[in-house]
Structure 1
Amino acid sequence: MREAAFVKQNKNKWFKFESYLRDNAQYSPDDLSNLYIEITDDLSYAQTFYPNSNTTKYLNQISVKAHQKIYKTQKTSGNKIVKFYTKEFPLMFYQYRYQLLLAFLVFLFFSLVGAYSAATDQDFVRLILGDNYVNMTLENINNNDPMAVYKKANETDMFIGITINNVRVGFLSYIFGFLLGIGALFIGMQNAVMLGSFQYFFADKGLLWESARTIWIHGTIEISVIIVCICAGLVAGNGIMFPKTYTRLESLARSAKAGLKIVLSTVPFFIIAGFLEGFVTRHTEMPDALAIFIIGGSMALILFYYVFLPIKLHKNQHNGKP
């Protein structure tokens, strides 16, 4: 790459980083370390291809400043886990908002595909959900308790089993994402088609509202964070396909770390979803207003944490606010 092209590609990042150092913006040690790695990677590249240039001298200067800043901020006290979930992760996640949007759109599309397929092929639901589940649900409908499946298992056993399974699906989405992101999208497609056909099955029986008010008590958080895990897989795959100025191995390591952080962010939400499914969803007698309140509150929590909080922290950082 010619030096002019290299500078043009990265200059905005360098100037922005220099302004953070100059204006003494608030940063966590991990954030500064990540930025420092980016600068030193660019410096290494410049030293290799433009050893005596002004670009190399400039990058060397700001890398020294960054090094000093890191060792000062590493002394900051505080609970690292709390800081990770409340500030470090949301701030990092802002840069992956487009991968999140893609994961959401793919999931929505295949949910519609699942519903359409169920509507046009009467055997499709059995193919996706299995004969045993369909027959059991039809029996529950005949017994005037269509959501009885959520009442049969012990609350604690259901909570633990569902939480473990959901976390497993989340990590699989991330791991399969290393297959150029296609693996993550495939897992998303499977779950989305299942959801679409499942929801149509109840709609076809005249139970759309009854099923929705029950299923989405836990499903709002569960499905949302599965989409976030698909996003994590896309981030992992993106590092392999688009290394930018890094070597492919360096890019893979960086994207793998970012994707893992995204998956780890979902674990508390999977626990909440498992708790709701194990202990709350089974109470189908609850008033509609309460069910709507839980669903609405769950959606507000997800949107706040994965959409609005990252935007807010990014703006604060850009404006030099703590």
Structure 2
Amino acid sequence: MTAALKSPLKSYEFRREREKTWHELEALVSRAEKRGLKALPADDLLRLPTLYRATLSSLSVARSISLDQNVLTYLESLSARAYFQVYGARSSLFEGIAHFLKHGFPAAVRAALWPNLIAALWMTLGTVIAFFLVQANADWYYTFAGDMAQGRTPAASTEFLRAGLYDGRDDPLESLYLFATFLFSHNATIGMFAFALGIALGIPTVLLMFYNGLLLGAMLSLYASRGLAWDLVGWLSVHGTTELLAIVLCGGGGLVLARAIVFPDRETRLESLARRGRAAGTLIMGAVLMLFVAGLLEGFARQLLTDITGRYLIGGLMLAFWLTYFALGGRDRRHDRSEPHDDD
């Protein structure tokens, strides 16, 4: 009889001493769930973690002394709700996007500086090799360009090549929209392959960067042989300064994955891949956004703008914008320290 009375008494005393804290926490959590944490006064925001820890302590004690199941269920539910308010996401979708654009993306580019430079080096190497090979023997052009040439071959007339650089202003808007959509899908596919194939030790990624350089170098060589190099570079610069940078970033992201597998440091390869994969994912999301911008520039601005000076102006401004954005975007000590670096 004494033991039977003791257990309810113990439960009653336990609840009486701590119930005020639980109710206060429940009221704060309910208000935060309805109106958001920003609606809480500063004093309540400071009080919330203290109440949460006190409730967790109560839950731990309640489990150890085997209180009745109703109290345990109540405390477990309250602790879970409070956890999401204390440690859960505090930003809206738009705030998350703004933070990504202001801090996440440019910091990820800076953190992967060396993989990005290596990807750019391989693309540049392919461009130079193809340029001089096609200059020496035009038949190399068919090897590098293949089906991508679309009639722009050494057999085409100079007038045909020049017309391809300046025609397009009279195309209907719907046609330009479809063209821009196709280009975005095509370039995004290339970028995703360059990134995803990084898991194969980065070898396919490097080869894809090199191949893209071969195609670019072959076209430059062909147009240079007809005195149209300046025109081609202007034609490419409108979208190319954005598109080529994006593809390089995709290649850099693939090399980040490769490094995680080849050089996992003190972690297991799976742990290294998971940690570096998050940083590479941020890089790729930004690169896809850049490819979308490049698709719009290629499908609209480049086709509608036929003035060579205007094309160089747009291309130069876009290049200056991206380089400045990557170098300075969101650069403050707090955020830069929080971003994982590739050589960590």
Is this a same-fold pair by TM over 0.5?
A: yes
Tell me whether 1:236 sits opposite 2:257 in the alignment: yes
Residue 101 and residue 72 in structure 1: after superposition, are their counterparts in 2 closer, same or farther (change >3 A)?
A: farther
In structure 1, distance between residues paired with 2:204 and 2:333: 30
Aligned position for 2:318: 298
Aligned position for 1:198: 219
In structure 2, distance between residues paired with 1:149 and 1:180: 43
Aligned position for 1:278: 299
In structure 2, distance between residues paired with 1:162 and 1:140: 25
Whichever residue aligns with residue 147 of structure 1, its letter is L
Q: Quick one: percent identity of the two aligned structures?
A: 23
Shift of 1:290: 1.8
In structure 2, distance between residues paired with 1:244 and 1:262: 22
Identify unmatched segments of 5+ residues in structure 2: 1-83, 338-344
Indicate the SS of the match to 2:267: coil
Query: 1:214·1:284 contact (CA, 8 Å) conserved in 2?
Result: no
Residue 75 and residue 264 in structure 1: after superposition, are their counterparts in 2 closer, same or farther (change >3 A)?
A: closer
Tell me the TM-score normalized by structure 2. Answer: 0.65
Residue 75 and residue 249 in structure 1: after superposition, are their counterparts in 2 closer, same or farther (change >3 A)?
A: closer
Alignment of 1:104-143 (within 5 A): 104-130=120-146, 132-135=150-153, 138-139=156-157, 141-142=159-160
Structure 1 range deviating more: 225-234 or 249-258: 249-258
Alignment of 1:7-46 (within 5 A): none
In structure 2, distance between residues paired with 1:317 and 1:142: 50
Aligned position for 1:84: 100
Q: 1:141-198, CA deviations, whole angstroms, 9 ceiling, x for partnerless residues? A: 2485142576678101101000011111111101111111111111101101100111
In structure 2, distance between residues paired with 1:226 and 1:143: 26
Shift of 1:309: 2.5
Indicate the SS of the match to 1:147: helix
Aligned position for 2:237: 216
Query: 2:130·2:144 contact (CA, 8 Å) conserved in 1?
Result: no
Query: 1:91·1:314 contact (CA, 8 Å) conserved in 2?
Result: no
> Which one of 306, 309, 317 corresponds to residue 329 of structure 2?
309
In structure 2, distance between residues paired with 1:120 and 1:139: 19
Residue 88 and residue 284 in structure 1: after superposition, are their counterparts in 2 closer, same or farther (change >3 A)?
A: closer
Aligned position for 1:6: none
Identify unmatched segments of 5+ residues in structure 1: 1-69
Residue 72 and residue 293 in structure 1: after superposition, are their counterparts in 2 closer, same or farther (change >3 A)?
A: farther
Structure 1 range deviating more: 219-228 or 300-309: 300-309
Tell me the TM-score normalized by structure 1. Answer: 0.69
RMSD of aligned Cα (Å): 2.7
Tell me whether 1:172 sits opposite 2:200 in the alignment: no
Report the count of equivalent residues: 248
In structure 2, distance between residues paired with 1:272 and 1:279: 11
Shift of 1:117: 1.4
In structure 1, distance between residues paired with 2:321 and 2:271: 34
Tell me whether 1:250 sits opposite 2:271 in the alignment: yes
Shift of 1:114: 1.4
Residue 293 and residue 251 in structure 1: after superposition, are their counterparts in 2 closer, same or farther (change >3 A)?
A: same
Tell me whether 1:157 sits opposite 2:178 in the alignment: yes
Whichever residue aligns with residue 218 of structure 1, its letter is H
Residue 300 and residue 308 in structure 1: after superposition, are their counterparts in 2 closer, same or farther (change >3 A)?
A: same
Structure 1 range deviating more: 86-95 or 208-217: 86-95
In structure 1, distance between residues paired with 2:156 and 2:299: 22
Question: Considering only CA atoms, is the larger Rg found in Structure 1 or Structure 2?
Answer: 2
Shift of 1:214: 1.1
Residue 272 and residue 245 in structure 1: after superposition, are their counterparts in 2 closer, same or farther (change >3 A)?
A: same
Indicate the SS of the match to 2:238: helix
Aligned position for 1:9: none
Shift of 1:284: 5.2
Structure 1 range deviating more: 273-282 or 76-85: 76-85
Indicate the SS of the match to 1:163: helix
Indicate the SS of the match to 2:207: helix
Alignment of 1:52-63 (within 5 A): none
Whichever residue aligns with residue 306 of structure 1, its letter is F
